[in-house]
Amino acid sequence: MRGIGIDAEQVSRFEKFAAGERPWRLVYSPREAQHLAAQPQVARAFCAAFCCKEALYKALGEFYSFPEFECLYRAGAPEQEFVLASGLQERLGIGEVQVRIDEQFLGRRGEFVVEASLIRTAASHVGTLQVAAVEAERGRIEEEHFSPAEVAALGSRRAQSVAGALALKRALVGLWADAGVPVAAVPRNFELGHHDSGAPRLVAAPEGVALADVYVSISHTRQWAYGLAAAAR
């Protein structure tokens, strides 16, 4: 029950809370909702907190009650405050959760990207890809970057799924480069599959990094896909 998770959300989805709509009680705790609503940029605050909760869900690989993980976001703060309920920690055996809120895409895309980790990572990489680029050339992209088995698994799934898989492969290329693997890796060298839960997993890869030490996660919005790859220490 240790892994990594990535989530991306468009800030525009959360403008309703800035306009006064009541925050989702099954997502935010009363204290958390009050804190987020008091921030200068309300929609951003609620969006960042939601991303944190989703990223933790992917890292855990199972459901939990979202209000049990409070994200007391403050724009521009050098360190963000996260609070795990003691019951959640005990029930799922969670120690420390490492969270990184990436705001680099806010200006250009209006999106928050958050990484959550329940492992100690030696290195991590995020790959990103525009969904429209995949829609325009899906056939070529699948032939160039995916194995026949992967193409069959993708089947008629939406372009977001293909974009997410390729974004993850690009992140894996960066991870292998960081490891100093002498032979340059390309996306097609990495084969992806899925756990029974539907979460992605790395099935095959070039030598140089042990598969058992690699953790992966995928997220996408309507317009962009993100893939996260990390190597455990």
What is the b/e burial string over 75-95, where b = at least 16 CB atoms within 10 angstroms of the residue's CB? eeeeebebebbeebeeeeebe
- Residues found in the chain: 233
Decide: residue 195, CB within 10 A, 0-12 exposed, 13-18 middle, 19+ buried.
exposed
pLDDT of residue 171: 97
**217 contacts 226 by C-beta, under 8 angstroms:** no
| 121-232 has the same fold as 4-117 | yes
So where are the chain's domains? 4-117, 121-232
pLDDT of residue 122: 87
Q: Residue 59: which of 29, 101, 102, 98 has the closest Cα?
A: 98
- Tens of pLDDT, residue by residue over 38-96, are 999 999 999 999 999 999 999 999 899 999 999 999 998 989 999 999 999 998 888 88
- Tens of pLDDT, residue by residue over 110-155, are 999 999 999 888 899 999 999 999 999 999 999 999 999 999 999 9
- Tens of pLDDT, residue by residue over 24-36, are 999 999 999 999 9
Looking at domain 121-232, its CATH class is alpha beta
pLDDT of residue 229: 97
CB atoms within 10 A of CB 211: 10
pLDDT of residue 233: 85
User: Please, which residues bridge with residue 201 across strands?
Assistant: 193
> Taking residues 9-27, what's their average pLDDT?
97
pLDDT of residue 54: 98
pLDDT of residue 94: 86
pLDDT at 1 over 60: no
pLDDT of residue 100: 95
Q: What angle do CA 5, 183, 120 make, to 5 degrees?
A: 30
pLDDT of residue 82: 96
Superfamily grouping for domain 4-117: 4'-phosphopantetheinyl transferase domain (3.90.470.20)
> Taking residues 202-206, what's their average pLDDT?
95
**11 contacts 43 by C-beta, under 8 angstroms:** yes
Return mean pLDDT, the chain.
94
pTM, 2 dp: 0.93
pLDDT at 159 over 80: yes
